[in-house]
C-alpha cells in the first residue's frame, strides 16, 4: 500500500509538473515517463483520466489553499480590497496553467467541471466572509447578484481576459480587478 501511495503521489506530481511546464494535455505516456513509472502502473493506480483529474485537482487546490492568508475583516475596506486582490492575483497566476488545461478538457470531464464548482464555492465563501459588512445591507436578490459578479471578477475568466487578451501586467491587472471589486461593493 505504501508503494501504491508513492506511485500515486509521483503520478500526480508528474501531471502537475507537465501542466506547469506548458504541456496542457499531457498523455498517459508522458505522465508515466515523468513519474518514473510504467504506463501499466499509472493506469493500475488510476482507473481513468477522471480519477487522475480528481487527485491532481485536489493537490492543486491544497497547494492553492496554502497561499491564502487570513485577511482581517475589521480592516478598512480599501485595505481589505488591496490585500485581497493582491492575494487573488498571486493565486490566479499560480493556477493559470491548470485553468488553461482545464479549459481544454472540462467540456468532456465531469471531474474537471466539479473542480470548477468547488473552486467557485470556495471563492464565494472567502468573499462573503471578508466583505460581510458591505454585503449585509443588500436585499436577497441584490446580494446574490453582487456575489455572482464578484465571483466572476476575481476568478479565472476575468483574469485571463486581463492578462492574455488585454495583455496587462500583473500589477495592472490587479489594479483593474481591485477597481471592479470596489465598484461592486460600494454601489448603492
pTM of the model: 0.88
Cα R_g (the chain), whole angstroms: 19
Q: Report which DSSP code applies to 162.
A: I
Structure confidence at residue 141 (pLDDT): 94
DSSP state of 161: I
Query: Mean pLDDT, to the nearest integer, of 162-176?
Result: 97
pLDDT of residue 107: 86
- pLDDT at residue 111 above 90? no
Distance CA 75, CA 72 (A): 6
Which residue is it, cell 501511495? 5
Q: Give the Cβ contact number of residue 12 at 10 Å.
A: 22
> Phi and psi at residue 48, in whole multiples of 5°?
-165, 180
What was the pLDDT predicted at 188? 57
Q: How are the residues of the chain apportioned to helix, strand and coil, as percentages rounded to the nearest 5?
A: 80, 0, 20
- Average pLDDT for 70-85: 95
- Which band of pLDDT confidence, cut at 50, 70 and 90, is reported for residue 106? confident
Q: Is the pLDDT of residue 52 over 60?
A: yes
Residue 1: pLDDT above 90? Answer: no
Residues of the chain with pLDDT > 90, as a percent, come to: 79
Q: Helices (H), strands (E): how many in the chain? A: 10, 0
Mean pLDDT of 125-152: 93
Enter the DSSP assignment of 94.
Answer: H
Q: DSSP class of residue 81?
A: H
Average pLDDT over residues 61-86: 94
Backbone CA torsion sign across 64, 79, 158, 128? positive
Which of the four pLDDT bands, split at 50, 70 and 90, describes residue 158? very high
E strand or H helix at 130: helix 110-130
Which single residue is written with the C-alpha cell 483593474? 176
Tens digits of residue pLDDT in 26-51: 999 999 999 999 999 999 999 888 89
Distance in angstroms (rounded) separating the CA atoms of residues 25 and 161 = 22
Amino acid at each position: 500500500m505504501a508503494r501504491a501511495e508513492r506511485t500515486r503521489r509521483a503520478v500526480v506530481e508528474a501531471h502537475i509538473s507537465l501542466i506547469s511546464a506548458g504541456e496542457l494535455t499531457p498523455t498517459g505516456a508522458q505522465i508515466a515517463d515523468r513519474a518514473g513509472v510504467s504506463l501499466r502502473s499509472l493506469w493500475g493506480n488510476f482507473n481513468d483520466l477522471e480519477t487522475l483529474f480528481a487527485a491532481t485537482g485536489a493537490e492543486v487546490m491544497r497547494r492553492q489553499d496554502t497561499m491564502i492568508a487570513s485577511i482581517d475583516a475589521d480592516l478598512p475596506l480599501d485595505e481589505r480590497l488591496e490585500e485581497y486582490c493582491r492575494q487573488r492575483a498571486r493565486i490566479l497566476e499560480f493556477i493559470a496553467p491548470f485553468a488553461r488545461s482545464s479549459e481544454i478538457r472540462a467540456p468532456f470531464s465531469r471531474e474537471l467541471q466539479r473542480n470548477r464548482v468547488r473552486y467557485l464555492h470556495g471563492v464565494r465563501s472567502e468573499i462573503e466572509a471578508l466583505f460581510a459588512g458591505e454585503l449585509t445591507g443588500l436585499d436577497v436578490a441584490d446580494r446574490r447578484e453582487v456575489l455572482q459578479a464578484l465571483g466572476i471578477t476575481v476568478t479565472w475568466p476575468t483574469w485571463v481576459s486581463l492578462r492574455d487578451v488585454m495583455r496587462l501586467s500583473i500589477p495592472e491587472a490587479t489594479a483593474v480587478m481591485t477597481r471592479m471589486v470596489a465598484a461592486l461593493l460600494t454601489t448603492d
